[in-house]
Chain A
Amino acid sequence: MKKGLAVAAATLMSASLVLSACGSANDKANNSAGTGNANADAPAKSDANAPANSSTEPADEPANEPVAKDVTLSLRHTQIKETSKVRLKILQDVVAKTLGENPGLKINLEGIDEVVNRDQKLKAEMAAGNPPDIFEVFGGADLNLYVKAGRMLDLTPIIDELGIKDQFASLDEFTIDGKVYGLPFGGYSEGVFYNKKLFADMGLTVPKTFDELMTLADAIKAKGKTPFALAAKDAWVNGMLWNTVMERHVGIKGFEGLVTGATKWTDPDFVAGFADYAKLVDNDYFTKGSLGLPYAEQGARFLKGDAAMVFTGTWDANRFTGDEAGDLKGNIGYFSFPSIAGGKGDQTSINASYSNGFGFSSNLSDDQKAMVKAFIKNFFNEDIQKRTLLEDKVLPSMKLSDLSGVDPLISEVLQVMASASSSWKAFDAIVQPSVGADVGVGLQELIGKVKKPDAVAKEIQASQDKANAQK
């Protein structure tokens, strides 16, 4: 009897251990999976809220309305940094508005880090088939993969019904076989931000050609300043300026040909592109010790006045017009990268993209789809787009009829974009991810001056051959 009791007690204790452990493990799984399965059973889901989730319920639910259907949507965003609190506020306002209009609706917001979402969490969820209902997603390679796996909701009927399809600047990166699988909430272009004060002090003007740029950079260097701020620790940062130099040489068709084998990285124009980039490096136009610097540093150095220019995307415009800019506030300009004589590309084109947007899970119920439509209607309209442009300085993804009150730097950016002869998407949205990674390594080798342009080109072509052979 005693023995039985002891065994029972031990079993009970250990069982409770297992259960509690499993309980917490389950919670974790639930949190990481968002509210994966598509059933709209609100009470069951409410316990899956992560502590960070701000689950908002309609505050003033009218008591005497017909019983509203309970619908829950999970929404994953990445606006958790100090720099993106404005964008988060806009998102929260849209959510609140949607909730107010739809009693019974519940939207669980979950904010996580951008890189973690893009590279790990969302990918894992996509593989398992349980992404959040609404989530931030990148057009291009990522989206392609998810659409192929059947995880993305086809939005074509929804935007047709709302009549907003033609209002977007470009849906290219979210369109696959004529169907739209995501909606960009903003766009960007990449070009040169420059310190107008420094330019004026040194009597410099915006360069129109690559040769003029070199002369200009030499003049800046002679005055003891760094021509270009650069933080080269993360490969994608180096890719931006290089990408534009390369496009001037080979054209966007050249990039597209890499995947089919029509062009090769070792072709003379490509090698010339690498060589021109290496020229910038070899003349010491970039921040010294850049290979050890994280991305935020290049903006910091530019704003400190150490460097006269920085090549980056317009997402940095918000920072450049903010308080951190100090004296430079209002003294920063933007120009498109100069043309390169003899290049095959479109010499006045610009790298612009509308690839950052919202996607929706394909396993939504009809009720959830209706709510998604309400959310889209409230989020993708001129009011919100204008607000995003004014408050967050993100370039609108929809055409705006009214541009009053826009910051001077932002209107300069919009002007540069409008006057570009064409726009194209970044190379890493064209070539395979493994090739993109090897381009990153090759550029760092150029920056570290350990390899010659033709050697780098050869290495990347080897990687391209391997990637092309796999598909």
Chain B
Amino acid sequence: MTAPLIHMELKSDPRVLSGVREMVSAVARRLAFDRPTADQIALAVDEALANVICHGYERRPVHPIWISIHEMKSDQPAIKIIIEDEAPPVDCDQIKGRDLADIRPGGLGVHIIKEVMDDAIYEKRGDVGMRLTMTRTGNRQSDQSSASPQKDPP
């Protein structure tokens, strides 16, 4: 894998989320994603970080989270984002979005991530921590992009 365009360490403080969203959306647009797609990618990152903060670190704001952004080789805009933490590892099979017919607060984050990204793969980082690797390809900035279907909404 090529070196990341960006690799940064965050604290697990929800106040960082707005800045990270802006950064991710800006980078995605620089990689030629159109604005709606860049915003969706930023939403997926926001949801992933919120899950780490809320569930992994139980809202304690002092723990590290690492985010790496890679440009992938493709004739379309293509991005890979890796989010890693040091939270207690969980069974990857248990990480799934809730049944949308069961309307209740919470449980939407994983569903949103899987809906807006092409791939979202959770894995354990050895003895400690989790890694989420997300990719998204397509929806270039151009006159044609507005005519091509977005990945969502459904």
Q: Do A and B bind each other?
A: no
B residues touching A (Cβ–Cβ < 8 Å)?
Answer: none
